[in-house]
């Protein structure tokens, strides 16, 4: 059996930010389970939103018709992975702009290709709006017909400055359990 893999898209522009730290906790459990991991940073990239040209569907491109920014590379990474984590800081009670570009363009052009892959949302916030950002990520997994394992709490952590989330013990525990549940589901699906 080939090695299972999980790609995590990080919507934060901060390299060592809280979102990255949350992802790393999940990764540590996945790696211990022998699952290959890769973090792809979307935050801080120059990306365009969906322009509603419809070419991806009309021409069955299985990618976005806009090919002048990193989004098609991200879409390829999604298609190539067994599990997909979408992780974002909360910005004005929602996901970051770059994460939304991935959701809109990746979801519209190839959601059928993600069918029965394993997905998980992760969000970080200082105080408010985490649930709304979480739900924005969950809607992507739902309409893409992906399998979403839960954890011991919803996958969110609290903090403002980079590293603050390390003090959110429940968030770290939730990330460990998420990694464990994700690995379990991946193994069952690929047994």
Residue partners of 158: CB distance under 8 A and separation at least 6? 124, 125, 126, 127, 130, 164, 165, 168, 171
Encoded one letter per residue, x for contact with ligand FMN by CB under 6 A and - for no contact, window 128-157 reads xx----------------------------
User: Are residues 102 and 70 in contact, defined by beta-carbon separation less than 8 angstroms?
Assistant: no
Q: Which of 107, 159, 179, 180 is in the footprint of ligand FMN by CB under 6 A? A: 159
Q: Which of 50, 71, 74, 89 is in the footprint of ligand FMN by CB under 6 A? A: 89
The strand pair at 36-41 and 156-158 is best described as: unpaired
Residue 166: Cβ-neighbour burial (10 angstroms; 0-12, 13-18, 19+): middle
Q: Which of 160, 167, 170, 190 is in the footprint of ligand FMN by CB under 6 A? A: 160
Residue 16: Cβ-neighbour burial (10 angstroms; 0-12, 13-18, 19+): exposed
Q: Judged by CB, which is closer to ligand FMN: 90, or 109?
A: 90
Q: Is 80 in the site for ligand FMN (CB under 6 A)?
A: no
Identify residues 107-126 at the interface with ligand FMN (CB under 6 A): 124-126
Q: How far is the CB of 148 from ligand FMN (least distance, A)?
A: 22
Q: Which of 6, 7, 18, 103 is in the footprint of ligand FMN by CB under 6 A? A: 18
Distance CA 77, CA 118 (A): 14
Size of the site for ligand FMN (CB under 6 A): 19
Q: How far is the CB of 189 from ligand FMN (least distance, A)?
A: 29
Residue 15 has what DSSP assignment?
T
Angle among Cα 105, 106, 109 to the nearest 5 degrees reads 80
Q: Is 17 in the site for ligand FMN (CB under 6 A)?
A: yes
Nearest to 109 by CA among 85, 157, 76: 76
Using CB atoms, what's the residue nearest to ligand FMN? Answer: 17
Q: How far is the CB of 28 from ligand FMN (least distance, A)?
A: 17
Sheet holding 156-158, edge to edge: 36-41, 5-10, 83-89, 118-125, 156-158
Q: How far is the CB of 60 from ligand FMN (least distance, A)?
A: 36
Residues that bind ligand FMN (CB under 6 A): 12, 14, 17-19, 89-93, 124-129, 159-160, 162
């Amino acid at each position: 059996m080939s090695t299972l893999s999980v790609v995590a898209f990080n919507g934060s522009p901060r390299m060592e930010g809280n979102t990255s730290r949350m992802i790393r906790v999940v990764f540590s459990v996945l790696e211990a389970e022998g699952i290959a991991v890769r973090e792809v940073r979307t935050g801080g990239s120059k990306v365009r939103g969906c322009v509603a040209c419809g070419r991806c569907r009309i021409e069955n491109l299985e990618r976005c018709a806009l090919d002048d920014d990193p989004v098609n590379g991200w879409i390829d990474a999604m298609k190539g992975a067994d599990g997909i984590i979408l992780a974002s800081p909360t910005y004005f009670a929602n996901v970051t702009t770059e994460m939304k570009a991935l959701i809109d363009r990746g979801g519209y052009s190839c959601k059928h290709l993600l069918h029965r892959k394993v997905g998980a949302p992760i969000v970080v916030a200082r105080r408010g709006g985490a649930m709304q950002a979480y739900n924005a990520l969950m809607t992507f997994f739902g309409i893409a017909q992906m399998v979403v394992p839960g954890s011991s709490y919803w996958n969110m952590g609290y903090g403002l400055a980079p590293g603050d989330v390390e003090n959110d013990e429940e968030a770290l525990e939730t990330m460990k359990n998420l990694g464990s549940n994700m690995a379990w589901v991946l193994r069952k699906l690929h047994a």
